[in-house]
Amino acid sequence: MFDDPLDRDYPRQIPTEPGGPGGNGGGRPIRKDEIELEARGLYIESWLPERRSRRRPLLLVHGELAGSWVWERWLRYFAGRGWEGHALNLRNHYWSKTADPATLSFDTYLEDVIAGIERLGPDPVVVGHGMGGLLVLKAATEGSGVAGIVLVDAELPAELRAPARPYVVRDAPVAYGRARIGWDAPPEKLQRENRDLTLDDVLRIQHLLGQKQHESGRARAEVQAGVPVTAGSLQDRPRLVIGSGLDGSAAAVAAESLATWLGAEHEQYGAHSHYGLLLGTDSHRQVVERVRAFLEAHHL
């Protein structure tokens, strides 16, 4: 009988990568830990090198509907090469405490990120994906001590957005699920649209995004309306902007404009999808190697 991915139970642990101790593709052994910020109901998933190093810890922040699970391949890669990786789960996401989405907003998520930065201090490197990119950017400009910033397919701040149409903000739902971001389609269709993902990758992402409408519609509306950011306060910190999509696509144009506005290093992956940058079985490797080069060049 053939092993049909559609017949398997999800989620499953991402397979270890061959080629080195602990399955890290040549990296060093790793161990896992956790941090709980009980006052805020937050859970941080930590992957640590077996021996501590002088490298800056990484705080990784997911985007809408996601959780620390989107960073598993990154966590394994960097822990195997001497970096502590700490993946924050925003309130009401994955392993963090359940909350009413109607009570959540961009500002409550921002408070979660700032709490995570303060817990890891002094001066971690912050990495954000999607809405998480805008969250870490905003946190860094509001005085949170960070040593460097990596933005991966980040949402744009108000200064780079066209004015939102009033009905887009006015009609935002209280909460939404994966259907609103186009991930309720048949897996085969999603795999055709995200060619750097295997069917197994797609099924895992689709399952972990979940069917429950748990994301804050208010936070999404605030992002679309525009979150102001003061870029000048970041000039003394290394910055890297990474984008997906073919040249000329909305994602490519957004990443390029964000990098120019920030005066940041910029890398575009034309054959990579939004989730493929983090989770693609093969596509994530180019991205983590580029981030590693950035960290090493700036002694982070």
pLDDT of amino acid 1: 29
Residue 159, pLDDT above cutoff 80: yes
pLDDT of amino acid 5: 33
Per the prediction, the chain carries an average pLDDT of 89
Q: What is the mean pLDDT of residues 194-209?
A: 95
Measured distance CA(300)–CA(296) in Å, rounded: 6
Q: Work out the pLDDT band at 167, boundaries 50, 70, 90.
A: confident
- Cβ-Cβ contacts under 8 Å for 268 (sequence gap 6 or more): 242, 243, 244, 245, 247, 252, 255, 256
CATH superfamily ID and name for 15-297: Alpha/Beta hydrolase fold, catalytic domain (3.40.50.1820)
pLDDT (tens digit per residue) in 70-114:
999 999 999 999 999 999 999 999 999 999 999 999 999 999 999
How many beta carbons lie within 10 A of that of residue 193, not counting itself?
12
Measured distance CA(225)–CA(217) in Å, rounded: 12
Tokens of 162: 């066209």
pLDDT of amino acid 170: 76
Exposed, middle or buried: residue 182 (CB in 10 Å: 0-12, 13-18, 19+)? Answer: exposed
Residue 269's SS3 state is strand
Residue 281, pLDDT above cutoff 80: yes
Q: Work out the pLDDT band at 137, boundaries 50, 70, 90.
A: very high
Measured distance CA(203)–CA(252) in Å, rounded: 26
Whole-model pTM: value is 0.91
pLDDT (tens digit per residue) in 8-63:
344 445 555 543 333 455 567 789 999 999 999 999 999 999 888 889 999 999 99
Q: What is the mean pLDDT of residues 202-212?
A: 92
